[in-house]
Structure 1
């Protein structure tokens, strides 16, 4: 019997599948748990703890290395250049950050909660992990 261990959680199904594909490309068996419920209604993502990427416990070290390498890749813009933080110049950025500042974002959040739908509007922002600053959008 295989003992599946949760390696990491994702709140975006596309990113979860990207990580799954990377592991499978490195011949690491894996599965996504709770992917369907988050895909059908993203507002349930926090309730179920996100989409869990699981691997057999015997593959955990190799899988962690693949995920670390994948997370170290910089985000790139439309021209293929690494996105840099305007404050510190670092490329350790992510766009897994939701910014609800501003009137339009606030109204969209209220409507999404009232009708249990995915927000119709959100700003595309980046978060620098090094200096803890949001930028863009």
Structure 2
């Protein structure tokens, strides 16, 4: 069982997976990427097939997960300081886009139909600890 690969992370794009792969290989962990060539050929299928799977040997799973956790990057402000949640004060905050009004919904639909990027997107931060959503402050 120690010679089988287990999935420890999934990525939407191969560039993200390659960076993490390089970091793990630097630490002597054997890494295998699954579905990276398929997604490089057609990035639109990434969500349909579950993204690029980063796999390591079962015996290295705990060490690889510890390395991933140590390098996970959360949102930073313009000065490089972690953005903190106004509710709980933790810095496990990530940026995400949201569709919460008619303008952004219409923009999403037009972008989806025409194959272009949306021209009106709302961004917010979300705390992973307490699920508080708060707006992006453009200072």
TM-score by length of 2: 0.75
Deviations 1:39-81 (A, max 9, x none): 454442221011211112222121111112223x543222111
Contact kept in structure 2, 1:41 and 1:118, CA below 8 Å: no
Alpha carbons of 1:82 and 1:15: their partners in 2 closer, same or farther (altered >3 Å)? same
Give 2:101's aligned residue: 102
Question: RMSD of the TM alignment (CA)?
Answer: 2.5
Which is higher, the Rg of structure 1 or of structure 2? 2
More strand by share: 2
TM-score by length of 1: 0.76
Give 1:136's aligned residue: 135
Q: What is the alpha-carbon distance in structure 2 between the residues aligned to residue 63 and residue 103 of structure 1?
A: 43
Gaps of 5+ in 1: none
Gaps of 5+ in 2: none
The count of residues paired between Structure 1 and Structure 2 equals 133
Give 1:119's aligned residue: 117
3-state secondary structure, aligned to 2:97? coil
3-state secondary structure, aligned to 1:24? helix
